[in-house]
Amino acid sequence: MEGEAACFDHPGNRAVASCLHCGRFVCQLCAVESPAGVLCPSCLAAGVQKPSPVSADGRSLYDTWALCIPFLLLLIWPLTILSAPAVIALAIMKWKAPLSLVRRNRWRFALGLTVGTLQGIAWVWLIVYLVAKARSSG
Ligand SMILES: [Zn+2]
Ligand SMILES: [Zn+2]
């Protein structure tokens, strides 16, 4: 143990890291992984989460989005039964508009049309599947 940093709370334990906030040495037991880095238990208890606000915020925002998007999609996916035909109709309508108006945005309509068509296919497939399942079981 001599010559090595010891944990602030456990003098018998070798330090594996130092707290990002207060600099105390922490052992394997005490090291608390936070989004920003390793914290000691007392700093964690004190609510210190952002030793470097910029990176911590950016990372937590990214994490939040990464977590939210699947749930968001889960929440809004039933809406696609309405949006899919609307998107297709809109895309077809706009496609027939004078070329000069849509030329720059045509790829957007193509994308919308593709996504709308895929969603429409997904819905038709789902309905057919459910009907077939209901028939086979009933
Ligand atoms: Zn600390
Ligand atoms: Zn410790």
Give residue 70's pLDDT.
60
Residues 122 and 103 in one domain: yes
The residue assigned the tokens 């977590």 is: 67
Burial (0-12, 13-18, 19+ Cβ within 10 Å), 3: exposed
Q: What is the pTM of this model?
A: 0.34
Angle of helix 106-137 relative to helix 80-95, nearest 10 degrees, comes to: 140
Give residue 1's pLDDT.
42
7 within a domain of the structure (yes/no) = no
**Residue 62 C-alpha to ligand 1 middle, in angstroms?**
25
* Each residue's pLDDT expressed in tens, for the chain with a length of 138 residues: 456 789 999 999 999 999 988 999 999 999 988 887 899 988 888 876 554 544 445 555 655 665 556 666 666 667 777 777 777 777 677 666 665 555 556 676 677 778 778 888 888 898 899 999 888 876
End position of a domain, from candidates 42, 72, 102: 72
Which-ligand-closest: CA of 19? 1
**Residue 60 C-alpha to ligand 1 middle, in angstroms?**
20
Which-ligand-closest: CA of 29? 2
**Residue 8 C-alpha to ligand 2 middle, in angstroms?**
6
Distance CA 111, CA 134 (A): 34
Give residue 62's pLDDT.
56
Which-ligand-closest: CA of 15? 2
Which-ligand-closest: CA of 42? 1
Give the count of domains, the chain.
2
What angle (nearest 5°) sits at the alpha carbon of residue 9, between those of residues 6 and 10?
A: 55
> Which residue segment(s) compose the domain that 52 sits in?
17-72
Give residue 21's pLDDT.
87
Q: Which residues pair with 10 in a beta bridge?
A: none
Which-ligand-closest: CA of 45? 1
Q: Which residues pair with 6 in a beta bridge?
A: 14
Give residue 31's pLDDT.
92
**Residue 19 C-alpha to ligand 1 middle, in angstroms?**
5
Contact 83, 62 (CB under 8 A): no
Q: Which residues pair with 37 in a beta bridge?
A: 34
Give residue 49's pLDDT.
56
**Residue 23 C-alpha to ligand 1 middle, in angstroms?**
6
End position of a domain, from candidates 45, 72, 99: 72
